Chain A
Amino acid sequence: MKRVLGLLLVLLLASLGVVSAAPAGRVNVLCSPNLVWCDAIKVEFPKATGIQLDYVRLSSGEAFARMRAEAANPSFDVWFAGTGDPHLEAVELGITEFYRPKSWNDLRPEFREAVGGKYIPLYAGILGWAQNERLLKEKGAPVPTTWKDLTNPRYKGLIAMPNPNTSGTGYTMLATIVQIYGEKAGFDLLKLIHRNIAQYTRGGADPGPLTGRGEIGIGVTFLHDAIDNILKGFPITYGSARDGTGFEIGGLSLVKGARNRDNAITFIEWALSPDGQRVAAELGQSYQIPSNSKTPVPRVAPRFQDFVMIKYDFLKYGKASVRDALIKKWSAEVFALPR
């Protein structure tokens, strides 16, 4: 028994030694995009700078909650990617601070204007859906072209959309429909869509794989996520609403009081450089429009000019009060209805 315990203790100490032997320079990243992208920057950033990168992946809503909870004592240095609204809210609450990167003037001006110069734009993504045309055909349902089409009773049990309570994508859809149709007509539309919903997913990218596997016919998601699933080999296509669609401007923020502030700034500069941004499409399976105008736009990425874009009001709909009110109303008046 003594020998056994002794052996276990030695193993334990050995493993402690292995794990704690790490390089000195570190940066702690709160990572909100596609996990593969997070995995890729974990490998590529140290290659470029020699600084070790550790990350936790949380969706943008979760990430914001986590940072707010730890505001007095942040364990993260930098918040990488994720829908813009919480980035905006974080700046306004003083959880993150605005840092003006050296490459500021290289960033696409329309992105900078859309976010009012309040946080660093990292990329833009267009809202749309993934569609499984084979399943739709089997069910005798047409391929949808507008938000209104989604109310067609033929789609009953065939649509998945992210829950706005947990997903920035879901909120973007809610806010887009409200901006197009106004609050009253917009909510009536959402109630009709609700009858067709098979599943409200937790994350914004979940509907893509569901559509791919044919669990559902239409999955509301950002187009870059749909494209990721197409490239993975799922037999799906993507589409977007012709009555207008919204978009997101993904953010990159420096955490206020970051313990590795210098390394965080190095990371931000790298993440905005063409070399850093190329990682997304080449290694990270992420196909958004990169914010640096010098970064080549991935060949497969969707372009603004191909879709009917609305003039999405980020400053209004990114505000916490507006957002909370809309989500609360949706939860009470739409989500609770029987399907």
Chain B
Amino acid sequence: MVGGSLRAAEVAAPRAAFPVDRTVVVWGGVTLLAGLLLPWTREQRELWSFSGGATGAALAARHLGVAASLLLAAAAIVAAVLPLPRFRRGQVVLALSGLGAVITFLSIWFQKVPLGLGALIVFLGYLTLAGSGISLSGLVHADPFTGATILWVAGFVVVFILLPLGEVLLASVFVRGRFTLDVLLETVRSPGFLLLNNPATPANELAQAGRIGLAGGILLAVLAVIRARRARPVLLWGVGGGAGVFVLAALYYGFGAVRNSVLLALVVGAGSTALGFLFALLGERSRLPTRRLLGPLSILPIITPPFVLGLAMIYLFGRRGFVTHQLLGLDTTIFFGPVGVAVAQILAFTPIAYLVLQGVVQALDMAMEEAAETLGASRWHVLRTVTWPLTRPGIANAFLLVAIESLADFGNPFVVGGGQPFLATQVFDAFSGRFNPNEAAVYGVTLLVMTLVVFFLQQRWIGRRGYVTVTGKPGAGALRPLPTTLDYVGTGVFLFWVVLTVALYGSVFSGSVTVLWGFDYTLTLEHLRGLRGQGMQVFQTSIMLSAVAAFPSMILGFLIAYLVTRVEFPGRSALEFGSMLSFAVPGTVMGIGYVLAFNDGPLLLTGTSIIITMAFVFRNMPVGIRAGVAAIHQLDRAIEEASTMLGAGTATTMRRIIMPLIVPALLSGLVFAFVRAVTAVSQVIFLVTPRHNLATTQILSYVQYGTLGRGAALASLLILAMAAVVLVLYLLSHRLSPRVVRQAAA
């Protein structure tokens, strides 16, 4: 919309001294017409519902705000036609539309009823006009398209990311409209939150942790003395290390959600990063033929609803599990509970670590290692003294990313957690089980604070460096092979991983076509047939809403990527931060925020498909941003400048120059957004309604109720559909990219 009208305006720019500004005329007209003809409020949930009595034309006589808003739109059109200098006209339009936006906002807000399509378009129209005004008046050095885009994006980020988070924060200290710390204190003091010294046991766990911390501190200090023979490291190791050991011991002996989640994040972060690093080394430098398997395998867990593997694990490793009991004859229940969750999460999140570290290993400068070898270092010595220090920031980056994912993960603790409290599941239990949104908000805020701290560490400390290595091209120099022992041992670990993954997927598929998963292996089609009513409906809804959401996720992500990499404007870093925030915010917290923010008032959206779509869009937009930023960074600015010199506006440049050059990145962003939406659970579990139920929540229901065959059948269907989509788009992007390169070269 924006692009088309703008292009027309610019191509046809007449030479008169004070030409009519077509953009402002068009958008002023859109605003005025929508305000007059479309309803400002709605009685039903669906945004598309129309009622004649609520149009601007009908309301204007009674409602001062509506009348003023419509008049201001008309005034903006007049300002665009009057012979005014460019910057003066910009100032006038900016003032009129700013006032219009505020009046529209206030009249929507104080009506307290759900806003209608008309009010929405009027508000967005004023944002567009204000964007043009900013541009014309020269406040920001950008064309009207860019100005409007900035305001639109900022508006969406505020409404769909900041507002829900704000609601969660408020709900933790405001109960029924009154400020109180009672819920907060009560929750924090409850044993389900964190219990360091259990009053119900005779032992004092905290004191014991203290003793262990003291012993650990002394031990580390002694070690430091032996190695360094200096005072500072001794102090550092003694005090710092001791405190670290104390915290770990206290958590280990403790109880509650914080304890479980933190320990889990540490273990999973370490495990996934170690495996991911090993696989990255193997993938780049192994001399064994298994190397080729690494790429395809890394996407497998991405196309799987996270908890499905955890569930399959129980069938393989439970007390009567296929592997543990039938093959090994063991009798163990260790995989129910935190250990099982940790293994399931390591399986699910190692690919993330792998993808990060693959870039890091690729970007290593081979010449350095070559030099070290020429100087006589063994391959192990090179690995330890050259490769390892160079990859350390990347490894820390992978660790922190995995830690965020682990903290935020809801499905695995829910399915395999064995009833132990974790932060993400406590949010759900408090909200869904104990009917207490305020308590849920307290858990949510705790989780939010923890993920944000990790996120900040990641961004400030290594995030930037991480980007460069990911987008960088491999340096010159011959490939340095791994030490032979490491190569073979590592490949052994990898093969074990492959076997495990194949077994888990096999287990899920077998569950869908056998009578009783993990028990009676007689073949049957009964579970697949059982999907005919509800199963197929939720499958369709999932695919459809995810597909609908994928496009805005990608486009919005790309626009934000463009704005933060190519345009200078005040508030740029705030916009970048706000939009990346939704990556760090756990899905359950966002879900609660959406319910709290969009359940009544002007922004009523619960119960519609729009809110689910929006949850998908803003959850997956960061994927688009990352892909976009990485891709745009590789383009030479000169190409765009040439386009601008030849008279194209930003919209044209974006559409005709940038987009074709980064098609593969856009397509992969699209696929990721789609796949992540289909497999999403936590952010939508509070939002589904009978008409808009989703496959993942339905699988969770089947699992929860022990109707495992149908759950497995639906999960298998979902996995196969995802695999097909990924494959098709993978082939498509491979076919597209060479042509793009040719075009770019020509």
Contacts and interface: CB of A to CB of B under 8 A. Distances in A.
Interface of A: 1, 4, 11-12, 15-16, 18-19, 26, 28-30, 34-36, 38-39, 42-43, 54-59, 61-62, 64-66, 68-70, 72-73, 75-76, 157, 163, 165-167, 198-203, 205-206, 208-209, 212-216, 229, 232-234, 327, 331-333, 335-338
Q: In the complex, which of the residues A34, A76, A201, A232 has the most CB atoms of chain B within 10 Å of its own CB atom?
A: A232
A31 to B, nearest CB: 9
Contact of A234 (B516, B530, B600): B516
| Closest 5 pairs (CB-CB, A-B) | A54-B690, A200-B419, A166-B433, A336-B191, A75-B607
B543 A163 contact: no
6 contacts: A35-B707, A36-B707, A68-B435, A72-B600, A75-B690, A327-B434
Contacts of B192: 331, 335-336
B707 A4 contact: no
A70 B429 CA distance: 17
Interface string B545-574: 001100100000000000000000000000
A209 B432 contact: no
B661 to A, nearest CB: 11
Given A68-B435, A70-B606, A333 B519 contact: no
Nearest to A167: B433
A213 B519 contact: yes
A338 B432 contact: no
Given A212-B519, A232-B516, A336-B255, A56 B688 contact: yes
A18 B551 CA distance: 20
Nearest to A207: B706
B541 A166 contact: no
B530 A215 contact: no
Contacts of A167: 433
A123 B702 CA distance: 22
B288 to A, nearest CB: 38
A29 B548 CA distance: 26
Contacts of A198: 333, 336, 418
Given A57-B698, A68-B435, A233-B519, 7 more contacts: A19-B540, A70-B606, A166-B432, A199-B337, A203-B705, A214-B319, A216-B333
A229 B706 contact: yes
Contact of B414 (A43, A62, A202, A335): A202
Interface stretch (B24-32, B195-203, B634-642): B195-203
A12 B319 CA distance: 46
A335 B191 contact: yes
Given A42-B533, A66-B432, A165-B434, A203 B200 contact: no
B223 interface: no
Given A65-B431, A73-B604, A202 B704 contact: yes
A16 B544 contact: yes
Nearest to A9: B551
A6 to B, nearest CB: 13
A157 to B, nearest CB: 6
B690 A62 contact: no
B701 interface: yes
Given A35-B707, A42-B534, A163-B419, A337 B200 contact: yes
A105 B348 CA distance: 56
Nearest to A61: B433
Contacts of B689: 28, 54, 56, 75-76
Interface in B411-454: 414, 418-419, 429, 431-435, 437
Q: In the complex, which of the residues A73, A203, A213 has the most CB atoms of chain B within 10 Å of its own CB atom?
A: A213
B333 A213 contact: no
B108 interface: no
A332 B255 CA distance: 12
Interface residues of B, number: 70
A162 B518 CA distance: 23
Contacts of A201: 419
A333 B200 contact: yes
A204 B224 CA distance: 54
B659 to A, nearest CB: 8
Interface in B662-699: 663, 686, 688-691, 693, 697-698
Given A57-B701, A331-B191, A199 B336 contact: yes
Contacts of A234: 516, 519
Contact of A338 (B198, B520, B543, B663): B198
A262 B616 CA distance: 34
Given A165-B429, A202-B704, A331-B190, A69 B437 contact: yes
B708 interface: yes
A39 B515 CA distance: 18
Given A35-B707, A36-B707, A233-B519, A76 B690 contact: yes
Contacts of B533: 39, 42-43
A210 to B, nearest CB: 8
B660 interface: yes
B599 interface: yes
B435 A61 contact: yes
A115 B505 CA distance: 47
B536 to A, nearest CB: 11
Interface in B324-347: 333, 336-337
Q: In the complex, which of the residues B535, B548, B660, B691 has the most CB atoms of chain A within 10 Å of its own CB atom?
A: B691
B662 to A, nearest CB: 11
Contact of B200 (A75, A212, A336): A336
B320 interface: yes
A35 B702 contact: yes
A29 B516 CA distance: 29
Given A1-B660, A73-B599, A203-B705, A215 B435 contact: no
B590 to A, nearest CB: 16
A4 to B, nearest CB: 7
B39 interface: no
Contacts of A56: 688-690, 693, 697
A19 B201 contact: no
Contacts of A43: 532-533
B660 A28 contact: no
Contacts of B548: 12, 16
A62 B208 CA distance: 39
B732 interface: yes
A232 B544 CA distance: 34
A158 B434 CA distance: 27
A213 B318 contact: yes
Contacts of A38: 534
Contacts of A337: 198, 200-201
Interface in B707-739: 707-708, 710, 732, 736
Contacts of B686: 66
A209 B688 contact: no
B595 interface: yes
Contacts of B314: 215
A212 B706 CA distance: 10
B706 A206 contact: yes
B84 to A, nearest CB: 39
Contacts of B600: 72-73
Contacts of A59: 704
Contacts of B535: 39
Contacts of B337: 199
Nearest to B192: A331
A144 to B, nearest CB: 19
Interface string B516-530: 101110000000001
A203 B432 contact: no
Contact of A215 (B333, B433, B437): B333
B198 A69 contact: no
B370 to A, nearest CB: 41
A336 B541 CA distance: 41
A83 B418 CA distance: 23
Nearest to A55: B690
A232 B551 CA distance: 44
B336 A215 contact: yes
B286 to A, nearest CB: 36
Contact of B736 (A1, A64, A202): A1
